[in-house]
Amino acid sequence: MPHIAIIGSGPAGYYTAEAAQNKWGEDAHIDVFDRLPVPYGLIRAGVAPDHQSIKAVSRRYEKTALTDTVRFIGNISVGTDVSIGELHELYDALILATGAPNDRPLDLPGADCDNVIGSAAMVGWYNGHPEFAELDPDLSGRNAVVIGMGNVALDVARILSKGPTEFEGSDIVAHALAALADSSIETVTILGRRGPHQIMMTPKELGELMHLEQAIPKVDKRDLPPEDDDAILEPGLRKSVNQLRSFAAIPESIHGEKLRAIEFDFFASPKAIVGSDGVATAVEVERTRIEAGRAIGTGENYTIPADLVVSCIGYRTSPIDGVPYDARAGKFANSDGRILPGLYCVGWARRGPSGTIGTNKPDGYDVIDRVVEDIGSASRKQGGAGFDTLAAERNLEVVRFSDWKKIEDAELAAARDGAPREKFVDIERMIAATKD
């Protein structure tokens, strides 16, 4: 049976492991690597902490992880601790499921000002990703601007707008809960360079804005196209636009009752971050009009006050030495998941950052079909035993799934009242919990 290494233990990684297991049954040899000592990637560190029902999919991944055919190899950074070439020598197929953890850069003058943050950092901060736990965004100003009109922008706007009691039942980390409880933000402006018909937000997520305790969404009726024009939209987008219409119909009296507003600013393309002493104070935007779906600048500029700017404009896969990379698209160069003989990619690393968690399932099954076509079912490689020797020679501290369960137990035990867990946000503490 072939030896398979999957790099990345998020949804794409575990759906691929599940597919490999279905294909080869109990004889499969599947190692799932992660640079963190904890599994589940985007489920743990990307999905919003107040979306616990989405996070519950990790139980399915755990079922796969707990079988004898699949090993979790955590705390190992491929490209640093072990190279792609070395893993290639050991495994019949290497499948990169590394996601797209880096922000698409906000290429604007002033984007290097303090308090201009990418969504990877912001989301990582409130979700307790060790890389971003120290971010400490300054929430002492009244105005936040969120750039982009996708679901990540919605997540960020919603989290910035919630009061402490609205996080009950979530696993938002303590440092973010405390900072948000102290936040002075009153207005969150969501900035879209195109119009209501071009949003990437989904209806269910938009609908949540109607049920916030402290905040209310605001859409200017004049930005909405005539209702008849919605007929040409695909049904999901039509529902989303309907949500915007219901936001526009909220009476002014209700706005007055709320502490915070989430304002949608359409046809507004960001041109520069205005700063004072290197700290953001406003976003300069150019009014646009839409021609054939594209935003065309009108030459009319204005500024929006901004004490905090979060850019939610998409993500890019991290390049790995020795792996062909498509810099324009921000993902590995591949043809239907094939990169080079024996080297594959799946999920966001293959197709870019789009789709739901579930989109990764067919992706995982597809890539395993390709592996079978290419290498069949025989193996002459050493597989995991070879990796174990190499890890021992290098003194690498490998975290196994049973170790992760100890970390998880400690996180569950540390949970505040009503919360499912208190995530550990630094790697030393995670590793220490594996020794208990």
Closest approach, Cβ 43 to ligand NAP, in A, equals 12
Give Cα 318 to chain centroid, integer Å: 14
Closest approach, Cβ 108 to ligand NAP, in A, equals 8
Closest approach, Cβ 202 to ligand NAP, in A, equals 6
Asked whether 23 and 368 are in contact (CB, 8 A), the reply is: yes
Closest approach, Cβ 317 to ligand NAP, in A, equals 13
DSSP annotation of 197: G
Closest approach, Cβ 315 to ligand NAP, in A, equals 6
Closest approach, Cβ 107 to ligand NAP, in A, equals 7
Q: Hey, which residues does 279 pair with through a beta bridge?
A: 114, 276
DSSP readout, 103-149? Answer: EPP--STTTTSBTEEEHHHHHHHHHT-TTTTT------SSEEEEE--
Nearer to ligand NAP, 26 or 107 (CB): 107
Q: Where are the beta strands (DSSP E) in 315-435?
A: 315-316, 325-326, 331-332, 338-340, 343-345
Instruction: In whole angstroms, give the CA distance from residue 285 to residue 147.
Output: 11
Give Cα 238 to chain centroid, integer Å: 25
Closest approach, Cβ 26 to ligand NAP, in A, equals 34
Nearer to ligand NAP, 163 or 314 (CB): 314
Nearer to ligand NAP, 175 or 271 (CB): 271
Of the candidates 347, 59, 310, 50, the residue with the CA atom closest to the CA atom of residue 172 = 50
Nearer to ligand NAP, 78 or 159 (CB): 159
Contact footprint for ligand NAP (CB under 6 A): 147-153, 155, 192-194, 198, 200, 202, 205, 270, 312-314, 353-356
Give Cα 338 to chain centroid, integer Å: 24
Closest-by-Cβ residue to ligand NAP is 150
Nearer to ligand NAP, 70 or 346 (CB): 346
Nearer to ligand NAP, 147 or 176 (CB): 147
Give Cα 320 to chain centroid, integer Å: 19
Token code pair at residue 219: 């859409």
Nearer to ligand NAP, 148 or 337 (CB): 148
Burial of 252 (0-12, 13-18, 19+ CB in 10 A): exposed
Nearer to ligand NAP, 83 or 359 (CB): 359
Nearer to ligand NAP, 322 or 362 (CB): 362
Closest approach, Cβ 29 to ligand NAP, in A, equals 32
Asked whether 332 and 348 are in contact (CB, 8 A), the reply is: no
Instruction: In whole angstroms, give the CA distance from residue 305 to residue 114.
Output: 15
Closest approach, Cβ 100 to ligand NAP, in A, equals 8
Query: What is residue 381's three-state secondary structure?
Result: coil
